């Protein structure tokens, strides 16, 4: 078995989440149509993940289709920019780095949200390499995302372990020869540590 030397982390659902859930903050603005509107907006957002097009006009179009007069910028700030890093996940990243692993970010993001994350979250300092789909020009689960990620990391895919909360993304990584773990933060970090151990990966013991 090839030795894992690098860990590639997804962002949403692994490193960060939405306080009280994705829909909660929008309910005050959208009411009973919240889930329907956000589902459609998210579907259209996926079409922009591999480029530089702005999501805000797309979101504004969705709101107009539903006859909602809430400014798109207000909804966007309340939902998409309402990001809360998970302290235990960040501690795990630090522990893996202290154990000698390369630690990297691999996330699907439109340009607007990627720029917000870069400006407001500690990922540039936390990770060795940060890989956003809008920068790579390709989005997960396309195997090309993972091949480009491995190239940027500077390692063969077999030396990289990927963690993501979507099974299709995990399958995309595995198709390139990467090891991959399907995990979401709600499962608890003890579960993730057990899955990492299966691949011979363990963070440094911190504190004490």
pTM: 0.96
CA–CA distance, 43 with 29 (Å, rounded to integer): 20
Does residue 102 contact residue 155 with C-beta atoms inside 8 Å?
A: yes
pLDDT value for 20 = 86
pLDDT tens for each residue of 26-35: 999 999 999 9
8 Å CB contact between 55 and 81: no
Cα 153 to its chain centre, rounded Å, is 17
Residue 122, classed as helix, strand or coil, is: coil
* Residues 134 and 49 sit within 8 Å (Cβ to Cβ): yes
Q: How far apart are CA 70 and CA 143, in angstroms?
A: 38
DSSP element (H, E) containing 75: helix 72-79
Give me the pLDDT at residue 25, please.
87
Task: List pLDDT tens digits, range 2-11.
Answer: 899 999 999 9
Q: How far is CA 29 from the centre of its chain?
A: 25
* 124-166 per-position pLDDT tens digit: 999 999 999 999 999 999 999 999 999 999 999 999 999 999 9
């Amino acid at each position: 078995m090839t030795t894992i030397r690098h860990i590639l982390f997804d962002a949403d659902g692994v490193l960060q989440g939405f306080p009280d859930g994705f829909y909660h903050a929008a309910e005050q603005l959208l009411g009973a149509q919240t889930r329907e509107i956000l589902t459609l907006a998210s579907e259209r957002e996926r079409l922009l993940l591999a480029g530089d097009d702005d999501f805000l006009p797309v979101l504004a179009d969705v709101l107009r289709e539903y006859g909602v007069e809430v400014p798109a910028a207000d909804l966007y700030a309340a939902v998409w920019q309402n990001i809360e890093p998970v302290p235990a996940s960040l501690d795990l990243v630090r522990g893996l780095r202290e154990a000698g692993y390369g630690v990297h970010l691999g996330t699907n993001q439109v340009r607007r949200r990627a720029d917000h994350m870069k400006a407001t979250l500690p990922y540039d300092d936390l990770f060795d390499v940060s890989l956003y789909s809008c920068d790579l020009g390709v989005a997960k689960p396309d195997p090309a995302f993972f091949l480009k990620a491995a190239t940027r990391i500077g390692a063969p895919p077999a030396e990289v372990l990927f963690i993501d909360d979507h099974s299709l993304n995990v399958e995309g990584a595995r198709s390139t020869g990467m090891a991959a773990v399907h995990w979401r933060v709600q499962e608890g970090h003890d579960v993730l540590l057990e899955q990492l151990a299966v691949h011979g990966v363990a963070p440094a013991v911190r504190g004490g």
